[in-house]
Structure 1
């Protein structure tokens, strides 16, 4: 375990050494931003709308009472969406979609000796392959989380509009009442941490792949599994520290 942690830290140090040619790295960063951000927008949008709608329906079912204000549905849906649903569930989905792609891409380059060729030519392979992915993840995953929050709350609004139990005016009033800005801070910290975990952990497993195509698939699976575990652990730690 400590050996793996040491290799992981060393790989991160090598990844963020001074680049040989910044313009090449910049092109890679832009390409990874498009791949991670635009490529994941569709699945995040679909999941967010449905999760927001389901959250509103379930909160309304559990709390609908003549003694409880109907606006509480909007308040609870808002807090749960911003604090947990959007950052954590989006990260778990992205670990499968983005993480497996990163691990398999780098793993394939390793087993086909493309990484060895880069190192022979004097290119810092971790910096060229991993750093742009981490930077793109730190940039795009928080943006995807913001999109997820907006669409999740919109999904709750749609659910209320389609339901006869909660008026949309009560839902919107609940979104506005009792807002605590700290939940936005927690959401931002989580999304940044999750972006780093997904890209760095999956890059690690891909970079140290050995064997053939079977091992590439195994590395991608390990990258996704370990990313999900660390996402849940980081979720617990961040929530405990900031709330």
Structure 2
């Protein structure tokens, strides 16, 4: 028979046991969740002190990441090599190549012809003004022809192509990259280099030298017209002097320069477009960088090719005097 006076102590002791066990469980949970050992920063510092100088240098080398312009330059070099390899193997989209040829060639023809016309006339004014004082007006055509075909025509044509076509390439491919359209091409089994890059590189390689020839002819025609109409120098005299000064080597070097310039423009523009990130802001930055770098490379390559092709003393103007 239960004693009534013993019920309250038993209930109070049971509740005390439950509270004690709960307190112990919470305390053990906090102890198990709390980190054991020194903090990570102190541990990393102690590990770096334990490593020798060579190990620390090796870890820094492994953890180093190149700047953005370095890996973009590497990407441009690799992409250019892949494009040339696939062009040589015939692995490029034909229809896309024709579209890009129209953009680079006839699409840029009007701006190029207009620019070279005024450049030729400006140089005609300067040459005739100075040569007339020396009595060498008959030599104006030779000097003007050499200046146009060796330097002015290929460089100015390439600058126009870089500003008009290179910016379009970088903006278009950059937009496709940030909107993941290039990834969609890969999912569909289409190589973006074969479909997008190689046609653009081939179009610039073919169209830029052709533009150079047309621009040179237009520049000479504008110069002859100005000399005949304004300065009363016969057109026959200017053309005869130019033909005697220009030889086959000048024509070949001019075409080769434009071929190199066009390849550089397309490669840089496509690679900067393919490595675009950061949304619309990144597209604008890539477009600007592609045009600026293309212009710098044009002048650097022009210096190198001129130094290579025209070393020593020349005698092209000897027959003009």
For normalisation by structure 1, the TM-score amounts to: 0.93
Specify the alignment match of 2:307 in structure 1: 240
RMSD: 1.8
Distance 1:178 1:42 in 2: 28
Q: Residues 130 and 79 from structure 1, CA distance in 2 versus in 1: closer, same or farther, beyond 3 angstroms? A: same
Number of residue pairs matched by the alignment: 240
What displacement does 1:12 show?
2.8
Q: How does 1:75-154 map to 2 (within 5 A)?
A: 75-154=142-221
After the TM superposition, which segments of 4 or more aligned residues of structure 1 sit over 6 Å from their partners?
none
**1:2 shift after superposition:** 4.9
Cα distance per residue 1:193-236 (max 9 Å; x no partner): 01101111011100100011121111110000000000000000
The equivalent residue for 1:41 is: 109
Distance across 1 between alignment mates of 2:287 and 2:262: 17
- CA distance in structure 2 between the aligned counterparts of 1:139 and 1:148, rounded to whole angstroms: 15
Partner of 1:229: 296
The 1:225/1:23 distance shift into structure 2, 3 A limit, reads: closer
Gaps of 5+ in 2: 1-68, 311-321
User: Where in structure 2 are the equivalents of 1:65-80 lying within 5 Å?
Assistant: 65=133, 67-80=134-147
Please show how residues 17-36 of structure 1 align to structure 2 within 5 Å.
Answer: 25-36=93-104
- Does the residue aligned with 1:130 lie in a helix, a strand or coil? helix
Larger radius of gyration: 2
Given that 1:205 and 1:220 are in contact with CA atoms closer than 8 Å, whether structure 2 keeps it comes out as yes
Tell me the CA shift for residue 183 of structure 1: 1.3
1:178 aligns with 2:245: yes
Q: Name the CA shift for 1:217/1:239 in 2 (closer, same or farther; >3 Å).
A: same
Runs of 5+ unmatched residues, structure 1 = none
